[in-house]
């Protein structure tokens, strides 16, 4: 075989190998691209990402508010036992009434005290089905707004064997208002950014749409006093009336239309 024929064969071989490599790359490229770019969201949001409009811009506004919960709902579980159901129920009601009046005399609002429904569970003998005694349990729910009032409930639980501290839930009396405020601040943040860009870049931004806001609330609970605390300790005045911290976070994406300034 001549040198010229060998050279022509080599060029043809390189041509076909290069073409095959390009075809393989073209086939694999869509799969690679689809694996790297995964879009999620509504159809409108995806359209804005894939086909952005040249005369629009989206700005995200964020805001955070921190406050301290100013009230706590406490359950006092009152359990009484007697040989007759009527006596157990009467004793339970009498004790709850004494506790409620005691709290009212100490300054707790009567509307902040409510009696939950009671339940009775008869105790039976070990070797017979005969009921030896009746046990009645009822919940007294009290909403307090200071450490001193919380200590008053703890003192009652320590004083009476029939009383135990149940569930405790911290609250904020103006939680809805704080949520409204943080959402308003998130929108204001987006508008302030738009105003800054307008002044810096020399064109106006007109709000035309927004994406649904996100909202979260996070609490940082504090530990409560132990029931084993001595009476002289729980009677000490509290130094703070706030219970625990609550953080409100909100964000909103506002879509603006770019309006060129008319000179």
> Contact 183/248 with Cβ under 8 angstroms?
no
pLDDT digit string (tens) for 160-211?
999 998 888 887 878 889 899 999 999 999 999 999 999 998 889 999 988 8
pLDDT value of residue 130:
58
Does residue 187 sit in the same domain as residue 208?
yes
Q: How many CB atoms lie within 10 A of CB 197?
A: 17
The three-class DSSP label of residue 44 is helix
Does residue 93 sit in the same domain as residue 131?
yes
Residue 8 has, within 13 A of its CA and on its CB side, a CA count of 5
Q: Show the tokens assigned to 238.
A: 């509290």
Of residues 136 and 26, the one with the higher pLDDT is 136
Q: Show the tokens assigned to 131.
A: 């009921």
Of 171, 198, 221, which residue is a domain's last? Answer: 171
Does residue 215 sit in the same domain as residue 131?
no
Mean pLDDT of 94-108: 92
* Counted domains in the chain: 3
Reported confidence tier of residue 19, pLDDT bands at 50, 70, 90 = low
Of 123, 143, 171, which residue is a domain's last? Answer: 171
Domain harbouring 80, CATH code: 3.30.70.2970
Does residue 188 sit in the same domain as residue 164?
no
Does residue 75 sit in the same domain as residue 148?
yes
Does residue 201 sit in the same domain as residue 240?
yes
Q: Is the pLDDT of residue 28 over 70?
A: no
Domain harbouring 188, CATH code: 3.30.110.170
Does residue 24 sit in the same domain as residue 144?
no
Of 113, 148, 171, which residue is a domain's last? Answer: 171
Of residues 241 and 148, the one with the higher pLDDT is 148
Q: How many CB atoms lie within 10 A of CB 91?
A: 16
Q: Rounded to two decimals, what is the model's pTM?
A: 0.51
pLDDT value of residue 135:
86
> Contact 227/77 with Cβ under 8 angstroms?
no
- DSSP letter for 229, please: S
Q: What domain range includes position 211?
A: 44-68+175-259
Please tell me the distance from the alpha carbon of residue 143 to that of residue 110, in angstroms, as a whole number: 10
Does residue 104 sit in the same domain as residue 160?
yes
């Amino acid at each position: 075989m001549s040198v010229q024929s060998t050279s022509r064969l080599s060029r043809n071989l390189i041509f076909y190998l290069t073409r095959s490599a390009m075809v393989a790359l073209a086939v694999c490229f869509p799969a690679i691209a689809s694996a790297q770019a995964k879009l999620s969201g509504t159809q409108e949001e995806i359209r804005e990402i894939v086909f952005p409009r040249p005369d629009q811009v989206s700005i995200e506004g964020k805001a955070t508010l921190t406050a301290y919960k100013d009230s706590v709902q406490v359950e006092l579980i009152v359990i009484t036992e007697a040989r007759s159901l009527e006596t157990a129920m009467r004793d339970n009601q009498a004790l709850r009434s004494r506790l409620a009046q005691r709290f009212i005399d100490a300054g707790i609002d009567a509307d902040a005290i409510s009696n939950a429904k009671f339940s009775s569970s008869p105790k039976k003998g070990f070797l017979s089905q005969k009921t030896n005694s009746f046990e009645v349990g009822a919940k007294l729910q009290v909403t307090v707004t200071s450490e001193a009032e919380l200590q008053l409930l703890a003192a009652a639980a320590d004083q009476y064997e029939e009383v135990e501290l149940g569930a405790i839930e911290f609250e904020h009396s103006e939680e809805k208002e704080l949520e409204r405020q943080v959402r308003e601040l998130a929108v204001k943040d987006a508008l302030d950014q738009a105003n800054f860009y307008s002044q810096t870049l020399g064109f106006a931004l007109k709000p035309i749409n927004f994406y649904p806001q996100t909202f979260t609330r996070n609490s940082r609970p504090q530990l409560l006093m132990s029931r084993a605390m001595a009476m002289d300790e729980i009677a000490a005045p509290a130094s703070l009336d706030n219970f625990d911290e609550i953080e409100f976070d909100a964000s909103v994406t506002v879509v603006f239309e770019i309006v060129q300034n008319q000179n």
